[in-house]
């Protein structure tokens, strides 16, 4: 698809993968980054051209409604929605870990927020001659990791939803649906599970997204995600042991 002269919204755009995507796409597009922390957003956008910020909590319906209205009124269009914001807890199910409340918080950001944002923005996206939705899932959408169990669940749910959304929107709309599936990435979110030592640079993920959009690769399996994906369908037990030695 065309990735120039678009209006693009990136959730969780103030740091990590979201910020690197903003850097990669902003030279040739108008990029809107959103997140809870306005100061963090403004700092991220300070040295980037064509990047504007809108503070919003994507788990809050009134914030989402305000975000939709502001984009309609200020920009008049939206071509690409990138659901990147994520929330994760590092723990194991064998611990006395308050797993229910952690799962609720993770699903609120990782699954229910993208579903609501897509529902709210879809009428605007459908107005374009070409548009896209990008859901950022994870390697753990295929194979769960024992140190992020309910985060893994939320990304598996997002993967399933994305497949069905792609199938439905392909029938009678010009909205393409992509899924970006990183492995462990060196971000603040992943530091607790070894991302700083073992994660790939967030810029690698952003570069693969740009390539995937340009070439209409609808499942963008970055780095080791492609290896896990291939192994999973050949030998699911072996794939499980890779992430859970």
Q: Is 111 a catalytic residue?
A: no
Which contacts of 109-115 are long-range, i.e. CB under 8 A and separated by 24 or more positions? 109/58, 109/59, 109/85, 110/86, 110/151, 110/154, 110/155, 110/157, 110/158, 111/154, 111/157, 111/158, 111/161, 112/59, 113/11, 113/58, 113/59, 113/64, 113/83, 113/85, 114/83, 114/158, 114/161, 115/161
Write the secondary structure of 63-105 as one string of H (helix), E (strand) and C (coil).
HHHHHHHHHHHHHCCCCEEEECCCCCCCCCCCCCCCHHHHHHH
- For residue 19, pLDDT over 90 is answered with yes
- For residue 234, pLDDT over 70 is answered with no
- Looking at residue 26, its pLDDT comes to 98
The 3-state DSSP class for residue 217 equals: coil
Catalytic residue among 111, 151, 161, 229: 151
Tokens 């699903």 sit at which residue?
107
Q: Do 232 and 239 meet the contact criterion of CB atoms below 8 Å apart? A: yes
- For residue 235, pLDDT over 80 is answered with no
- For residue 232, pLDDT over 80 is answered with no
Mean pLDDT, all residues of the chain = 94
**Distances in Å between the alpha carbon of 208 and those of 21, 103, 155?**
10, 29, 19
Token pair listed for 81: 């929605």
Predicted model pTM: 0.93
State mean pLDDT over 8-37. Answer: 97
- Angle in degrees, CA 55, 190, 103, rounded to 5: 75
State mean pLDDT over 99-120. Answer: 98
């Amino acid at each position: 698809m065309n990735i120039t002269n678009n209006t693009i919204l990136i959730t969780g755009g103030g740091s990590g993968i979201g910020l690197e995507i903003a850097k990669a796409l902003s030279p040739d597009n108008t990029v809107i980054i959103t997140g809870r922390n306005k100061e963090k957003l403004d700092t991220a956008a300070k040295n980037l051209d064509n990047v504007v910020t809108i503070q919003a909590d994507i788990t809050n319906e009134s914030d989402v409604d305000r975000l939709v209205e502001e984009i309609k009124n200020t920009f008049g269009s939206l071509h690409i929605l990138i659901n990147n914001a994520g929330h994760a807890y590092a723990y194991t199910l064998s611990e006395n870990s308050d797993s229910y409340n952690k799962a609720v918080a993770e699903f609120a950001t990782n699954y229910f927020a993208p579903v609501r944002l897509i529902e709210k923005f879809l009428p605007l996206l459908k107005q374009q001659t070409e548009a896209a939705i990008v859901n950022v899932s994870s390697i753990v959408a295929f194979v769960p990791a024992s140190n992020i169990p309910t985060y893994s669940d939320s990304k598996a749910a997002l993967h399933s939803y994305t497949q069905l959304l792609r199938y439905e929107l392909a029938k009678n709309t010009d909205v393409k649906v992509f899924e970006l599936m990183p492995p462990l990435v060196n971000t603040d979110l992943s530091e607790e599970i070894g991302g700083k030592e073992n994660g790939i640079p967030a810029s690698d993920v952003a570069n693969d997204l740009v390539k995937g959009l340009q070439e209409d690769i609808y499942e963008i399996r970055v780095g080791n995600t492609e290896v896990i994906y291939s192994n999973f369908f050949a030998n699911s037990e072996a794939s499980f042991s890779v992430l859970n030695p």
